[in-house]
Amino acid sequence: DTGVSQNPRHKITKRGQNVTFRCDPISEHNRLYWYRQTLGQGPEFLTYFQNEAQLEKSRLLSDRFSAERPKGSFSTLEIQRTEQGDSAMYLCASSLAQTRGHNEQFFGPGTRLTVL
């Protein structure tokens, strides 16, 4: 399978615990994005990387959230001291950045987080 993969697909945790999600992009893609989607809403941008550099972060990405892409391949998104409001689907996408024009973002299946 050459698509974007995310693990785990589902995560249930108790309030106050830390969780980490992983995203593996399409192999030749140099950009990787994280979005959050709550029930009844469209995805909201969190952050994106070009290779290992984090180029843009949303104000939604509070101090409890951290994302890394250490070798420019897979990425992890960690949420510390989870709150019930963090319950959402976390989507990862990847793209091949081009010097001109639009680079299509391909989405993974998401990780559904439930905070009890």
Partner 1 sequence: AQTVTQSQPEMSVQEAETVTLSCTYDTSESDYYLFWYKQPPSRQMILVIRQEAYKQQNATENRFSVNFQKAAKSFSLKISDSQLGDAAMYFCAYRSSLLGTDKLIFGTGTRLQVFP
Instruction: State the residues that interact with partner 1 by CB under 8 A.
Output: 3-4, 31, 33, 35, 40-45, 48, 55-56, 58, 91, 95, 97, 102-105, 107-110
Instruction: Report the C-alpha gap between 73 and 36 in whole angstroms.
Output: 20
Question: Of the two residues 52 and 80, which places its CB atom closer to partner 1 in the complex?
Answer: 52
CB 55, min distance to partner 1, A:
7
Question: Of the two residues 93 and 115, which places its CB atom closer to partner 1 in the complex?
Answer: 93
CB 31, min distance to partner 1, A:
7
Q: Which amino acid is at 19?
A: V
Question: Of the two residues 31 and 86, which places its CB atom closer to partner 1 in the complex?
Answer: 31
State the DSSP H helix or E strand holding residue 19, giving kind and residue range, or none if neither. strand 19-24
Neighbours of 93 (CB within 10 A): 22
Instruction: Report the C-alpha gap between 86 and 66 in whole angstroms.
Output: 13
Give the C-alpha distances (Å, rounded to integers) separating 101 from 47, 88, 96: 21, 32, 11
Question: Of the two residues 58 and 80, which places its CB atom closer to partner 1 in the complex?
Answer: 58
CB 82, min distance to partner 1, A:
23
CB 16, min distance to partner 1, A:
29
Contact 109, 7 (CB under 8 A): no
